[in-house]
């Protein structure tokens, strides 16, 4: 429970925000479910309670609630933490079970890993004012920054756009909000009658769906700002890059400033990949960013690429009323998944009336006369598709350009991904990299875990 906005005895209205509750990822506003009086607070600020547990009692005006009242089925609140200087009797320890023997090859690997962890990581700037500077505030960067601060390291996180990165603002979170809308629309359309809902043809409103999606993203982004404040992380708004020296400089609204840090973590994420011949104009040929804020549903849509991004948007726009064609260069959709899973999804899409074409190698995609025209090759034959819009979803590329890495010893592979060791150290002393910028698997929870491992290695 992060903060109470009302105190006991205050009148509240239905929908009024009465408290802020913190979870692992962000903070949420808790609204009063009905009009009444906040009669009793069961969980004070700073306390931790299980998900679903009551934290307060709302009563009708004039209704009395006993001082020792505890809702039925809820354990009495734990005693307050002892004040400074008070003695605490340690709880009896439960003996840990004897660990099973470790296979010799596993033991050797663990020893090698331990030796690697104990090697000095070096420092980027031994005289640095900051212990850790994190470039990027996505799921890898913000988690790394928070963990560093929790470990007592003086930490600054540099982000030029929105806290939360692509995941919270333009990826995982807003797309799932849109998919929820699509799910409800499809449920009513396909199963409304059997569920007792007399609306067989729902009228989806993409403007409202997008507005809800953006509101959710903005709320979670604000939650990151709160977590930074709570954990003592300094947020510096601006674009960071390495300069000759090397040194770390940041372009802010007030001009350029140098950030001196002993350790620098690069967590700049990735952006949409666009192959040669694909001319994104933001209107007819688009990427996921434009797809997330469209104000109308195209009558026809071609989606190039059937990975997670392509299949999600294909499903969403079909549910919203578009006629969708999905193109995939591989011989199955969802090429990174098991063939059995991919086949289930393909059949599901076909059953819905979507067109799925595998083995299609796209040659070009461009706007022509107010339409998106896509040319592709399949089985040695050329084909052309015309649609109101074309979504390019052919993966992502790491954001390593314009970082000034040429002024460091940091190595990149042929795909532009930063090369690191098991503890995310680069070839330059004191410089680390985590998340999408180091390559697959490019997933939010993976980036967060990498951030924790990296920072704990820095802290020793």
Per residue, the 3-state secondary structure of 276-305, as one string, reads CCECCCCCCEECHHHHCCCCCCCCEEEEEC
pLDDT at 99 over 60: no
Average pLDDT estimate for 100-128:
52
- Asked whether the beta carbons of 405 and 317 are under 8 A apart, the reply is no
Rounded to whole angstroms, the Cα distance separating 25 from 211 reads 22
The pLDDT confidence band at residue 29, using thresholds 50, 70 and 90, is confident
Lowest mean per-residue pLDDT among 26-40, 158-172, 316-330, 393-407:
26-40
- Asked whether the beta carbons of 406 and 234 are under 8 A apart, the reply is no
Average pLDDT estimate for 55-63:
86
The answer to whether the Cα torsion of 419, 425, 427, 433 is positive or negative is: positive
Average pLDDT estimate for 92-99:
44
The pLDDT confidence band at residue 77, using thresholds 50, 70 and 90, is very low
> Going by DSSP bridges, is the β-strand pair 371-378/361-368 parallel, antiparallel, or unpaired?
antiparallel
> Going by DSSP bridges, is the β-strand pair 270-272/396-398 parallel, antiparallel, or unpaired?
antiparallel
The pLDDT confidence band at residue 45, using thresholds 50, 70 and 90, is confident
Please indicate whether residue 202 or residue 339 has the higher confidence score (pLDDT).
339
- Asked whether the beta carbons of 303 and 163 are under 8 A apart, the reply is no
Average pLDDT estimate for 244-268:
93
State whether residue 352 is helix, strand or coil: helix
Average pLDDT estimate for 396-413:
93
pLDDT the model gives residue 25 = 57
pLDDT digits (tens, 9 = 90+) for 142-197: 999 999 999 999 999 999 988 999 999 999 999 999 999 999 999 998 888 888 88
- Asked whether the beta carbons of 122 and 430 are under 8 A apart, the reply is yes
Average pLDDT estimate for 284-313:
96
Q: For 208, how many CA atoms within 13 A lie in the half-sphere containing its CB? A: 7
Please indicate whether residue 374 or residue 191 has the higher confidence score (pLDDT).
374
pLDDT at 112 over 80: no
Looking at the whole model, is its pTM more than 0.85? no
Please indicate whether residue 124 or residue 135 has the higher confidence score (pLDDT).
135
pLDDT the model gives residue 84 = 44
Contacts within 8 Å (CB) and 24+ apart, 333-338: 333/306, 333/358, 334/306, 334/307, 334/308, 335/306, 335/307, 336/307
Alpha-carbon distances, residue 293 vs 207, 208, 228, 391, 412 (angstroms): 8, 11, 28, 13, 33
Nearest to 329 by CA among 354, 298, 360: 360
Average pLDDT estimate for 281-305:
95
Q: Which segments of 192-266 are extended strands (E)?
A: 234-237, 239-243, 247-252, 255-259, 261-266
pLDDT the model gives residue 74 = 52
Rounded to whole angstroms, the Cα distance separating 294 from 333 reads 25
pLDDT the model gives residue 75 = 52
Average pLDDT estimate for 446-459:
95
Beta-bridged to residue 302, according to DSSP, are 325, 390
Question: Which residue blocks in 335-398 are alpha helix, DSSP H?
Answer: 339-352
Average pLDDT estimate for 97-102:
41
Average pLDDT, the chain: 86
The pLDDT confidence band at residue 109, using thresholds 50, 70 and 90, is very low
Helix (H) or strand (E) holding 57: strand 56-59
Please indicate whether residue 90 or residue 19 has the higher confidence score (pLDDT).
19
Question: What contacts 353, CB < 8 A, 6 or more positions away?
Answer: 318, 323
The pLDDT confidence band at residue 333, using thresholds 50, 70 and 90, is very high
pLDDT the model gives residue 200 = 66
* CA-CA-CA-CA dihedral for 125, 130, 135, 139, to nearest 10: 130
Question: What domains does the chain contain, in order, with CATH numbers?
Answer: 3-59 (2.40.50.100), 123-168+209-271+397-459 (3.50.50.60), 285-394 (3.50.50.60)
Phi and psi torsions of 436, nearest 5°: -60, -25
Beta-bridged to residue 272, according to DSSP, are 396
- Asked whether the beta carbons of 301 and 323 are under 8 A apart, the reply is yes
Radius of gyration of the chain (CA): 26
State whether residue 53 is helix, strand or coil: coil
Question: What contacts 90, CB < 8 A, 6 or more positions away?
Answer: none
The pLDDT confidence band at residue 48, using thresholds 50, 70 and 90, is confident
């Amino acid at each position: 429970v992060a903060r109470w906005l009302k105190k006991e005895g205050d009148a509240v209205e239905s929908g009024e925000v009465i408290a802020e509750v913190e979870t692992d990822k962000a903070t949420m506003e808790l609204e009063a479910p009905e009009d009444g009086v906040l009669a009793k607070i069961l969980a004070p600020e700073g306390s931790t309670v299980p998900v679903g547990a009551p934290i307060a009692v709302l009563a009708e005006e004039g209704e009395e609630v006993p001082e020792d009242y505890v809702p039925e089925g809820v354990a009495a609140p734990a005693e307050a933490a002892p004040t400074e200087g008070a003695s605490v009797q340690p709880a009896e320890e439960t003996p840990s079970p004897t660990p099973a023997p470790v296979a010799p090859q596993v033991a050797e690997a663990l020893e090698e890993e331990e030796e690697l962890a104990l090697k000095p990581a070096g420092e980027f700037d031994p005289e640095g004012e900051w212990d850790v500077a994190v470039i990027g505030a996505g799921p890898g960067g913000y988690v790394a920054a928070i963990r560093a601060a929790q470990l007592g390291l003086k930490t600054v996180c540099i982000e030029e756009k929105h806290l939360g990165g692509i995941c919270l603002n333009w990826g995982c979170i807003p797309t799932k909000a849109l998919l929820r809308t699509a799910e409800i629309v499809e449920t009513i359309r396909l199963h409304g009658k059997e569920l007792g809902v007399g609306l067989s043809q729902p009228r989806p409103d993409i403007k409202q769906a997008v507005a809800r999606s953006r509101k959710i993203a903005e709320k979670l982004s604000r939650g990151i700002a709160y977590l930074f404040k709570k954990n003592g992380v300094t947020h510096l708004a601006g674009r960071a890059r390495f300069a000759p020296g090397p040194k770390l400089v940041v372009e802010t609204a007030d001009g350029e400033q140098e950030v001196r840090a002993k350790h620098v973590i690069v967590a700049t994420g990735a952006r949409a990949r666009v192959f040669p011949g694909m001319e994104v104009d933001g209107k007819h040929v688009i990427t996921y960013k434009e797809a997330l804020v469209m104000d109308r549903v195209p009558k026809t849509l071609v989606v190039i690429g059937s990975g997670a991004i392509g299949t999600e948007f294909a499903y969403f726009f079909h549910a919203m009323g578009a006629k969708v064609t999905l193109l995939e260069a591989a011989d199955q959709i969802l090429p990174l998944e098991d063939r059995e899973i991919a086949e289930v999804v393909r059949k599901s899409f076909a059953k819905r009336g979507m067109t799925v074409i595998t083995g299609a190698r796209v040659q070009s995609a461009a706007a022509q006369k107010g339409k998106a025209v896509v040319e592709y090759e399949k089985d040695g034959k050329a084909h052309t598709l015309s649609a109101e819009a074309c979504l390019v979803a052919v993966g992502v590329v790491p954001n390593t350009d314009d970082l000034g890495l040429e002024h460091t010893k940091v190595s990149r592979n042929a795909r532009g991904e930063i090369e690191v060791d098991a503890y995310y150290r680069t070839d330059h002393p004191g410089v680390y990299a985590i998340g999408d910028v180091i390559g697959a698997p490019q997933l939010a929870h993976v980036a967060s875990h990498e951030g924790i491992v990296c920072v704990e290695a820095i802290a020793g």
